[in-house]
């Protein structure tokens, strides 16, 4: 079971906080349509980029890969 974002953020671990946000955005994006999907995709891309910029290397999970592929498909379809 996923932990609440507010709990993770309250612990003060930036990477863990961004990972929790990433996971929540990916879950929400699966059900989103239209402008909501585009907004969530943008937020997810920004969160992924911020995670990648943190020291300690890039973590790539199945959720990351699926979310990134979906984000690219949506952006391509929107002509971005």
pTM above 0.75, yes or no: no
Judge contact between 44 and 64, C-beta under 8 A: no
List, for residues 58-72, the tens digit of each pLDDT value: 556 777 778 888 888
pLDDT surpasses 70 at 22: yes
Q: Return the closest-CA partner of residue 39 out of 28, 50, 52.
A: 28
Q: What is the pLDDT of residue 76?
A: 80
Confidence of residue 57 (pLDDT cuts 50, 70, 90): low
């Amino acid at each position: 079971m996923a932990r609440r974002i507010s709990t993770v953020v309250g612990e003060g671990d930036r990477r863990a906080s961004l990972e929790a946000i990433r996971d929540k955005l990916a879950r929400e994006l699966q059900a989103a349509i239209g402008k909501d999907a585009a907004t969530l995709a943008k937020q997810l891309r920004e969160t992924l980029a911020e995670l990648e910029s943190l020291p300690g290397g890039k973590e790539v999970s199945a959720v990351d890969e699926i979310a990134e592929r979906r984000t690219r498909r949506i952006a391509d379809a929107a002509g971005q």
